[in-house]
């Protein structure tokens, strides 16, 4: 994506040694993978004079690659590198730092593949840490706050969400000694929690807090140096504005939200960060979204069990169903149904299974409308999909199942 001249290359080499990995946003996913391999090889050499720091850095690099691509192998390599770092600790503070990195991997594994038990395990680990240095203590507090916020958003309980918001506030205030990337993650999480709670409760104070956090992030994240942070903040702002626009039925706000999504998508290319690109495409997808970007999103998220992969598959199948029904193509609907049925009878990850159940329900309803017959077991299909999505901590997939429900069916 970027061409480095001689002077920029020198700056790039210097950035490689920095504890702040924000410079990774300038390189594409393939180069992040190459950096992770290089660091892991260096850490494994007998001549490496700082094995703990090198393994910890290799873990962070593999983790970033997993976050961009959704590859389980990269996440597993991050966990292996963190384990190697833990074997080379010489102080209690290093032991805590290795445990924090392991907790970050658990958090990312949940974000990518669901499974709330990962949050519970990571929380138990981080609460038992004893760090010496203030920076490590702040990193532990930041991880604890982010894990708690994930659990609070899953629960939807107002009191739990307020407690999580207080922890995030404290962590943001204590993040001055941390790498900028950690502070940005905290602000993004606080903005997401504030937006969700603010929209649900019609709470202007929480919405203002989210707006302040996102404005700070967008203003501080230059498109030339921090394109991914900027894009994530713009996409979150667009999602919040669209949610408010739906509540107020305000078309002008809807258009502003779409403009923010477009601005987010313009920050980088799909190969630079495939999952960020897919996330932007899915969050702005409407009923009339063209099939091509949805098919591309599905192609970029083929990893079994990936949350975004399940959402992309369900969206693409929904779009194909709409097109076939509009054309009166009963045979086309039958062909789609046969494909989905074959997937359901094979080995299937739970979230992929839930996405296909939603797709089957949509296909049955579309065929029923064309043929003038009442589809069977639609409510059961969608209820099972919702239950699985909730169990695995994928509320976006639950929402898709709810949207698929016919008006006369209630759960």
Hey, how many other C-beta atoms are within 10 angstroms of the C-beta on 134?
12
- Confidence band for 352, pLDDT divided at 50, 70 and 90: very high
pLDDT at 3: 47
User: Which domain range does residue 375 map to?
Assistant: 297-411
Contact (Cβ atoms closer than 8 angstroms) between residue 381 and residue 401: no
pLDDT at 177: 79
Region 109-117: mean pLDDT is 96
Residue 142 lies in a domain: no
Residue 315 lies in a domain: yes
Residue 61 lies in a domain: no
pLDDT at 22: 81
**CA 227, CA 231: separation in Å to the nearest integer?**
6
Residue 287 lies in a domain: no
pLDDT at 258: 87
User: How many folded domains does the chain comprise?
Assistant: 1
| Cβ burial, residue 16 (10 Å; 0-12/13-18/19+) | middle
**CA 194, CA 80: separation in Å to the nearest integer?**
34
pLDDT at 19: 65
Q: Using the predicted structure, report yes or no on whether residue 377 has a pLDDT greater than 80.
A: yes
356 contacts: CB under 8 Å, gap ≥ 6: 313, 314, 317, 340, 343, 344, 348
Query: Which is more confidently placed, 203 or 352?
Result: 352
Residue 329 lies in a domain: yes
Averaged pLDDT of the chain? 90
Residue 161 lies in a domain: no
**CA 313, CA 64: separation in Å to the nearest integer?**
24
Q: What is the token pair recorded at 310?
A: 């399940």
Least confident of 3-17, 53-67, 68-82: 3-17
pLDDT at 11: 46
- Whole-model pTM: value is 0.92
Q: Using the predicted structure, report yes or no on whether residue 109 has a pLDDT greater than 70.
A: yes
- Confidence band for 209, pLDDT divided at 50, 70 and 90: confident
User: For 257-291, how does the pLDDT look when each residue is reduced to its tens digit (9 = 90+)?
Assistant: 889 988 998 999 999 999 999 999 998 776 667 89
Residue 357 lies in a domain: yes
User: For 18-43, how does the pLDDT look when each residue is reduced to its tens digit (9 = 90+)?
Assistant: 667 888 999 999 999 999 999 999 99
266 contacts: CB under 8 Å, gap ≥ 6: none
Q: Using the predicted structure, report yes or no on whether residue 237 has a pLDDT greater than 80.
A: yes
Q: Using the predicted structure, report yes or no on whether residue 15 has a pLDDT greater than 70.
A: no
Q: Using the predicted structure, report yes or no on whether residue 5 has a pLDDT greater than 80.
A: no
Residue 170 lies in a domain: no
Q: Using the predicted structure, report yes or no on whether residue 75 has a pLDDT greater than 60.
A: yes
User: For 357-367, how does the pLDDT look when each residue is reduced to its tens digit (9 = 90+)?
Assistant: 999 999 999 99
- Whole-angstrom CA distances from 145 to 110, 123, 337, 390 are 15, 9, 43, 22
Q: Using the predicted structure, report yes or no on whether residue 222 has a pLDDT greater than 70.
A: yes
pLDDT at 18: 61
pLDDT at 16: 59
pLDDT at 7: 47
Q: Using the predicted structure, report yes or no on whether residue 59 has a pLDDT greater than 60.
A: yes
User: For 388-401, how does the pLDDT look when each residue is reduced to its tens digit (9 = 90+)?
Assistant: 999 999 999 999 99
């Amino acid at each position: 994506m970027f061409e480095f001249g001689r002077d920029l290359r020198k700056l790039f080499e210097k950035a490689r040694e920095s504890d702040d990995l924000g410079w990774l946003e300038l390189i594409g996913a393939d180069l992040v993978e190459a950096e992770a391999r290089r660091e892991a090889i260096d850490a494994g050499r007998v001549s490496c004079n700082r094995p703990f720091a090198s393994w910890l850095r290799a873990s962070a690099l593999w983790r970033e690659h997993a976050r961009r691509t959704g590859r389980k192998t990269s996440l597993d390599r991050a966990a292996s590198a963190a384990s190697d770092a833990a074997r080379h600790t010489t102080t209690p503070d290093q032991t805590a730092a290795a445990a924090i990195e392991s907790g970050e991997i658990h958090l990312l594994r949940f974000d990518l593949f669901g499974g709330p038990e990962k949050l519970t395990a990571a929380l138990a680990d981080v609460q038992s840490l004893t760090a010496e240095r203030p920076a490590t203590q702040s990193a532990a507090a930041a991880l604890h706050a982010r894990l708690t916020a994930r659990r609070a958003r899953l629960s939807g309980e107002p009191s739990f969400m307020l407690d999580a918001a207080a922890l995030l506030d404290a962590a943001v205030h204590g993040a001055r000694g941390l790498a900028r990337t950690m502070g940005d993650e905290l602000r993004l999480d606080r903005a997401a929690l504030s937006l969700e709670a603010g929209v649900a409760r019609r709470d202007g104070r929480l919405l203002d807090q989210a707006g302040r956090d996102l404005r700070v992030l967008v203003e501080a994240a230059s498109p030339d140096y921090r394109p991914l942070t900027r894009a994530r903040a713009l996409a979150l702002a667009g999602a919040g504005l669209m949610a408010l626009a739906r509540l107020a039925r305000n078309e002008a706000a809807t258009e502003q939200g779409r403009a923010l999504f477009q601005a987010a998508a313009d920050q980088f290319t799909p190969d630079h960060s495939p999952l960020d690109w897919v996330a932007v495409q899915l969050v702005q997808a409407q009923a009339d979204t063209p099939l091509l970007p949805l098919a591309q999103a599905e192609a970029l998220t083929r990893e079994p069990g990936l949350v975004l992969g399940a959402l992309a598959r369900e969206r693409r199948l929904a779009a194909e169903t709409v097109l076939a029904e509009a054309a009166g193509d009963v045979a086309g609907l039958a062909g789609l149904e046969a494909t989905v049925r074959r997937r359901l009878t094979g080995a299937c990850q739970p979230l992929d299974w839930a996405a296909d159940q939603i797709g089957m329900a949509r296909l049955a309803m579309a065929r029923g409308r064309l043929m003038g017959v009442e589809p069977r077991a639609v409510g059961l299909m969608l209820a099972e999909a919702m239950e699985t999505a909730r169990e695995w901590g994928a509320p976006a997939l639950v929402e898709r199942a709810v949207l698929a429900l016919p008006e006369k069916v209630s759960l």
